[in-house]
Amino acid sequence: MRWSWLRLTAAAVALSGVAAGFVVNVDRAVRQGQSLGLVLADYFSFFTIISAILGAAVLAWGASWGLRHADAPREPFALALALAAVTGPVLLLGVVYNALLRGMPSAEALADSPGIALLDTYAVEVLHVVLPVYFVLDLLLAPRRRGLPWWTLSVLVGYPLLWTAYTMVRGELVANPDGSAPWWYPYPFLDPHGPGGYGSAFLYIGAICAGFLVIGTAVIGIGRWRERRAPQ
């Protein structure tokens, strides 16, 4: 039962990071005279934000189930699959951000308002460090985790592939809110207008898909290993 409360706390922290980023983006839109609707549509198109919201929802579901079924030996299959499906993206986000994007200054981090810069830093660290660390702990330590069959790996990579397709299509259809370009991509390594063009973008997409396969395989493997070792 204590882990259920920990999951609720992690869900609340994740949503606080999303809310902090929301405030930062509203401030930027107002301060720079950008379209608020476009800025927020872009914000909620980030893989980080979508995954954090889904992660918080699944953690809240897991906590609710745990509090209502204290005597159940294993979590239900649907919950186990949902947890695995959000664990992979959250973990890979942490790896990609800290390996490729950390240290890149954002407009918010350089804003005149110290409060906005602080909110921006809070959102970044919560969503790219705190949340991935929590999901690692949940994967390794949460009681009553259920092992999943190997075929569920296709489900784990399905969501990231759908997001990638959405992003690459949408990127050419919307303009950058700051007016600098008639296109917009949430992450610079996906922008086919940068150095390397589409070849570079698809190379990154291939690498990220490989990363999802590796992490998804690890998530399923750990879950199956934990279920075998669990007392019957």
Q: What is the pLDDT of residue 107?
A: 53
**63 alpha-carbon distance from chain centroid:** 19
Write out the two tokens for 165: 């397709």
> Where residue 103 falls among pLDDT bands split at 50, 70, 90?
low
Task: Give me the pLDDT at residue 143, please.
Answer: 92
List, for residues 151-207, the tens digit of each pLDDT value: 999 999 999 999 999 999 999 999 999 889 999 999 888 999 988 899 999 998 998
pLDDT band at 106 (very low <50, low <70, confident <90, very high): low
Calculate the average pLDDT of the chain.
91
pLDDT at position 206 is 93
Higher pLDDT, 124 or 110: 124
The whole domain housing 24 covers: 2-229
Provide the domain count of the chain: 1
Label residue 70 by pLDDT band (50, 70, 90): confident
For 120-164, write each residue's pLDDT tens digit: 999 999 999 999 999 999 999 999 999 999 999 999 999 999 999
Query: What is the four-CA torsion angle of 113, 116, 120, 122, rounded to 10 degrees?
Result: 110
DSSP class of residue 145 equals P
Residue 115's pLDDT band (boundaries 50, 70, 90)? confident
